[in-house]
Structure 1
């Protein structure tokens, strides 16, 4: 399914994409106030903090602003952001920030004459932005004399909500680029439907659990894309609280489904049993972590985001260990997992590092995440298809071997060849498959070998003769008993191929067995096409070949005598044609 050159090309493309996106995402985690999300957006702001118990007006009046060396913290109950307005620029209409839970958002506009206008929002009273992962809150009415906008956020649960807040004249996703991105993501979700159709077809043939887990993984990734992007606005009406909860929960589902897929997909002997047993526990832990974080965001609010990412760190390490161990043990499935998991593992590493590394702003690396979804689904779908074909081949081979064993289940214990009873039982079926030439071969004066060298050497001779007969797809070799063998052949020049085996055994026995005389054989061959004798019985053809065999012996031994039964001609019985060698 996936040859070495194709695999190498696929891996090189994956590495190239990672080489481009990983540094870009890490750079994106660094503060970059000079890169506005849209034209006339206001990113520069000052920061202050205070208690959420004080009134918003008092907090603004007593605020101690940090404008140069800003530090953000979730410990205070309230964080204030101050944006200075440019009278020459287009006036902003919205506050845009990351979609994470907070209890209240308050906004105050201050004019040049000191007049103020306020607006306050509960979390669910704000709106999701068309730009994925962002929310927007409409500002109070601005005038030409408006000079500042003060934003107060109470009980913020993520630093990204503070660090990535800005003012904008419109929805950052409501533009041509944003619409193109939504179309691209919609196409990606449509593409994810194809593996679901494949899985439905695969599961009808192979009732393997990894097909179900791959289905769960694909669905969870599709849901993750929908709830993290602006697509959710066009598909379902959800409150911001529900959308935030779903975002966290479906991420946990994706991690859990990915782990369970690896648990059932990687070959049984290609992964350390301890690591394999840990995967279901990791999947369960992912579900519990995401459920707790989604439903109880304010329990340990100042530290909960950090705890959340720390809890995923052991899972990330385990998944990396799965790849390393499986690849080290030569797992073919792990190659597909490597391509599928690398971008998403990169997302996990970026999120954890940016959360805790000094000097980096927390980021969710959504661009790399979307790329990772494509790689994950494509790679694992190819892996599932590859495994499907491999398992199908194994089952087909097993079925074929079982059928062959059922037909030819009894073998001669000395030589390993099929015995006479099997040939008699399957003779009609084998003729129907084209085996129309029967050759009987008997070793000349074999009794003298047993008498002179002993039965042990005689057994060696018989085993060597069996090897010299070289059974293949067009030649079935049977030990009829004693020193007599039968060959059932199909295809062109069947009698000539039988004769080559008869003449070769003398040379092979002389080479492999310590006897001081040549071992020869006589053979009778009868070729009976299906159209000549459609209902030919084994006993009939065997008796005729046996007659030819002993005529060959009577003619001096070490000879072959062959007879071909010609096809019926109108008004005439089948005619034998004889040939000696």
Structure 2
């Protein structure tokens, strides 16, 4: 709960940070007066401003916009601002271009010209726009021509405006508040991803974090919010926005392939999704660089190379939903708005329809919805994986218990004790006592295996019920048991365990004709820290001693003490004793 509160505070901090960035837009509540071009035209590089004065060669409607040409001309008629303040600034969407030359033509033939480049562009503190100063516009000016050489974006042309107040050329306060809110929505999932990855080391969490980070860069640059914090050149802003969007799209495809449950995608669709994701990062990413040599094709190439991504991702999600994927349902909800907004932006970018820059708010809102819903999907997947892992751990523990525990008595089995024998010997368990029930076969023959099993369970209970914390009981198989002991008086304690066996069997297994006794062979090593013997050697010695006890009349213990020397002694016989 504390972590959730902290994350909510950070989200609010992100929103407030964005609001601070939008503050310049709130300095003046007056509505900016700006003028759109009345006409536009495309030409080669040799056409002069004088040759462009006749209106017959201009397109004076909202169609036929192109950015794949050497030069685009924009025409602003003086009738637009007649009676208003003279325009002094040109502004438009941030995009790459080689130069913009302004020609202010007067009625008496006078002309004022200004040629500006990308380096002269000044990104505004709010909004994805930059401005350039115009040559002097006077009452005698009849038309303003803007010659844009090698434009890389159709929206840069369709959204071009002139205004008298450069402070009013940016986005409104409401627009920037929306951007700030979206940034806050992006910060929170990014922090969630970091928290999730600490607990759940899954690759799809890293992919989603990278995707969110790319979206944050996109919102900051495409939305112009970055200009409130750092002065970036127009060329850098123009490249970062489309490049970060291409990277985010490609990471989305990789995330999709890695995030869906096993079996939610066919092998072919998964391979196609991954291939399309890499293609989207490479192809649109290349066109996003807006190189001089690719100017005729990069705007159209950028948007058209997104089409495979839209089709493949949509098909992949639909297939996963059809296969019953729970995660795919989240993705369908998350990606439907952003796919619709991306298609609208693609159509506007290709010049298929003209709309105001405020339509970009659709994609920003869709981005915010997408990352939040996917964060919920990750949280849901996180819980599902935790449940799966918990179930797997439980099953593993059960399997481990099955493989290391005797199913009848619940004691450790031979496999378990052999695996840990060296460790236990080093911990001081230096007494190896082998217990064998006397005449056990006769019990099975006379009373049946069910009674025999009951006798084995009672024997295990007698060994285990001693309460000796320094004793470990093991069933080797059949009627053989091993008890490892450490500490003082191990021989006396082993003998006490042996004597407890017939008492416990007589108490818990009624109807036996004779008492069931036990024989024991015990090996004691004087210094376990200098161990040179393996489990098999201890067992062989204890087994020989146990048969000595049986040969001596059963129901007794035989033992020997072993001393390990760093150098072999001249002559030493192990001390052997028998105790009735």
The one-character-per-residue Cα deviations of 1:34-88 (angstroms, maximum 9, x if unpaired) are xxx9542212512233222244444447973333576333454222222123322
- Mapping of 1:13-412 within 5 angstroms? 39-60=32-53, 64-67=57-60, 71-74=64-67, 76-85=69-78, 86-171=81-166, 178-354=172-348, 365-409=359-403
Q: CA deviation at 1:411?
A: 8.8
Shift of the 321–173 alpha-carbon distance from structure 1 to 2, 3 Å rule, reads farther
> In 1, Cα distance between the equivalents of 2:501 and 2:372?
59
Q: CA deviation at 1:350?
A: 1.8
CA contact (8 A) 1:41 1:167 kept: yes
Equivalent in the alignment of 2:408: 419
Shift of the 78–174 alpha-carbon distance from structure 1 to 2, 3 Å rule, reads closer
> In 2, Cα distance between the equivalents of 1:374 and 1:542?
75
Equivalent residue of 2:115, what SS? strand
CA contact (8 A) 1:214 1:257 kept: yes
Shift of the 102–274 alpha-carbon distance from structure 1 to 2, 3 Å rule, reads same
> In 1, Cα distance between the equivalents of 2:251 and 2:355?
29
Q: CA deviation at 1:226?
A: 0.6
The one-character-per-residue Cα deviations of 1:339-397 (angstroms, maximum 9, x if unpaired) are 22122211222233445685556979421211122112111211222222222222222
Q: 1:481 aligns with which of 453, 477, 495?
A: 453
Superposition RMSD in Å:
3.9
> In 1, Cα distance between the equivalents of 2:172 and 2:213?
24
Q: CA deviation at 1:220?
A: 0.4
Instruction: Say how many residue pairs are matched.
Output: 418
Equivalent residue of 2:380, what SS? helix
> In 2, Cα distance between the equivalents of 1:546 and 1:163?
101
Shift of the 165–254 alpha-carbon distance from structure 1 to 2, 3 Å rule, reads same
The one-character-per-residue Cα deviations of 1:5-62 (angstroms, maximum 9, x if unpaired) are xxxxxxxxxxxxxxxxxxxxxxxxxxxxxxxx95422125122332222444444479
- What TM-score, normalized to structure 1? 0.63
> In 2, Cα distance between the equivalents of 1:227 and 1:480?
81
Equivalent residue of 1:299, what SS? helix
Structure 2 gaps, min length 5? 1-29, 417-443, 459-496, 512-580
Equivalent residue of 1:215, what SS? helix
Q: CA deviation at 1:276?
A: 1.2
Shift of the 546–404 alpha-carbon distance from structure 1 to 2, 3 Å rule, reads farther
Q: Which stretch of the first structure deviates more once superposed, 207-216 or 48-57?
A: 48-57
Higher gyration radius (CA): 2
CA contact (8 A) 2:40 2:72 kept: yes
> In 2, Cα distance between the equivalents of 1:354 and 1:542?
93
Shift of the 381–539 alpha-carbon distance from structure 1 to 2, 3 Å rule, reads farther
CA contact (8 A) 1:249 1:290 kept: yes
Higher RCO, 1 vs 2 (CA within 8 Å, ≥6 residues apart): 2
- What TM-score, normalized to structure 2? 0.63
> In 2, Cα distance between the equivalents of 1:363 and 1:349?
15
Q: CA deviation at 1:217?
A: 0.6
Equivalent residue of 1:420, what SS? coil
Equivalent in the alignment of 1:547: 507
The one-character-per-residue Cα deviations of 1:292-313 (angstroms, maximum 9, x if unpaired) are 2133444343443222222111
> In 2, Cα distance between the equivalents of 1:541 and 1:336?
63
Shift of the 252–543 alpha-carbon distance from structure 1 to 2, 3 Å rule, reads farther
CA contact (8 A) 1:316 1:345 kept: yes
Q: CA deviation at 1:545?
A: 8.8
Structure 1 gaps, min length 5? 1-36, 413-417, 427-445, 451-457, 463-478, 487-536, 552-581
Shift of the 549–244 alpha-carbon distance from structure 1 to 2, 3 Å rule, reads same
Shift of the 229–267 alpha-carbon distance from structure 1 to 2, 3 Å rule, reads same
